[in-house]
Structure 1
Amino acid sequence: MGTDQERRRAPELRVDEWIGPDGQPLDRPVRLGDLGSGFRIIFCFQHWCPGCHAHGFPTLRYLYDRLADSDIGIAVIQTVFEGAEENTSDKLRIDQEKYGLAVPFGQDVPPEGRDLPTFMEDYRTGGTPWFTIIDPEGAIVYAGFQLDPDALLEVLGVGR
C-alpha cells in the first residue's frame, strides 16, 4: 500500500453532520478515536457519483463483510465538492441502507467561504470515490481512487 501521502499523520475529522450505524442523527461529530484504535478505513463518496456506486461502494461492502469480526473501524463521508443540490444529507441514509453498511455516515460541505469540504482539504483527496486507510499509529498509509480489497485484507492479516 502507499501513495505520495504515505506516512503523513491523519488530521482529526472536522465533519460536523453524522448519522450513526442505525441511520439516526448523532448528537456529536465522529472523531478518529470513535473508529477504534486499530486500522481505520474512510470512504468518501457523492450520491450522484457513478464510480462510487459501480466500484467504490461494492469494494467497501466487500471489505465490510470480511472485516465484521475485526477491530477495524469504518466511516463513510459524502464530500460535497460539487452538486450540492443533489448530494444532500438525506442521501446518507439512502446509501447506508442500499449497501447495508451499519457504520457512521457523515455529510461534509465546504465551510463558509471555502471551496472544498473539510475532509478533502485536510486529507488532500482527489475526488470520489476515495479510500483513505489510517494505521493504528494514526498515519495515512493509503489514499486513492482505486483500492484492491484483497491486497488490503492480506496486509491486515484478515481472511477472505
Structure 2
Amino acid sequence: MKTQNINTPAIELNTSTWLNSDRPIKLNELIGRVVVLHTFQMLCPGCVLHGLPQAIKVRNSFSEADVVVLGLHTVFEHHSVMGKEALQVFLHEYNIHFPVGIDQAAAGSDIPLTMQAYGLRGTPSIILIDRKGQVRLNYFGVIDDMLLGAHIGQLMAE
C-alpha cells in the first residue's frame, strides 16, 4: 500500500468512453466539489471485494452536491477480456451506477494514459481531489473505510 499527499493540480482524465453518464466527465467542471476517483479493473479481487463496494458506500453516504464519485477502469493486464461490453455487463451485475470512464489505451504500452499520468502502481487506487481541483491523496491498495471517510470529511470542511 502506498499513500501520497500531492497538492498538485489534478490531471484531466484521458478516457476512450464513459459509462453511466450521458456525456464525458471533465474534472475542471467539478471544481467546488470533492472528487473521489476509484481506479479499478473488473478482474482485480481487491477491487471487486473492497474497492468498488467502498466507492458505492461513499456515493451513498455523501450528497452529490459535495462529493462526486467516479470510477476509472484502467486495464494494464488481460486486455482482451476486459473490453467495453464486458465492463457494461459487470457494472450492471454489481449495481454500479456512478460514472465510469475507460482509461485510454496507450500506443506501444500496456499501461493506459491516465494510469501513466497519475503514476498509478496498480489497482485498486483512490485519488482524492479537493474543491479547488488539487490532488490531495493518491493511495494504492485497500484503504480503510474510516481513513478514507476522514480524508473526505477533511476536504469537505476546507
Name stretches of at least 5 consecutive residues in structure 1 with no aligned partner: none
> Any idea what the Cα deviations from partners look like across 1:38-66, whole Å, max 9, x if unmatched?
11011111111111111111211221211
Given the two structures, how large is their TM-score scaled by the length of structure 2?
Answer: 0.82
Partner of 2:135: 140
The verdict on how the C-alpha distance between 1:87 and 1:72 changes in structure 2, with shifts beyond 3 A counting, is same
Given the two structures, how large is their TM-score scaled by the length of structure 1?
Answer: 0.81
Count of residue pairs brought into register by the alignment: 152
Relative contact order (C-alpha < 8 Å, sep 6+): which is higher? 2
Taking every aligned residue pair, what percent have the same amino acid on both sides? 28
Are the counterparts in 1 of residues 14 and 104 from structure 2 also a CA contact under 8 Å? Answer: no
Letter in 1 for 2:16: D
The answer to which structure has the higher helix fraction is 2
1:150 paired residue among 110, 125, 146: 146
The verdict on how the C-alpha distance between 1:3 and 1:48 changes in structure 2, with shifts beyond 3 A counting, is closer
Are the counterparts in 1 of residues 40 and 73 from structure 2 also a CA contact under 8 Å? Answer: yes
> Any idea what the Cα deviations from partners look like across 1:3-22, whole Å, max 9, x if unmatched?
3352122111111211134x
* CA distance in structure 1 between the aligned counterparts of 2:64 and 2:104, rounded to whole angstroms: 32
What root-mean-square deviation, in Å, do the aligned CA atoms of Structure 1 and Structure 2 show? 2.3
Letter in 1 for 2:100: F
Letter in 2 for 1:89: K
Q: Answer yes or no: is 1:80 the counterpart of 2:40.
A: no
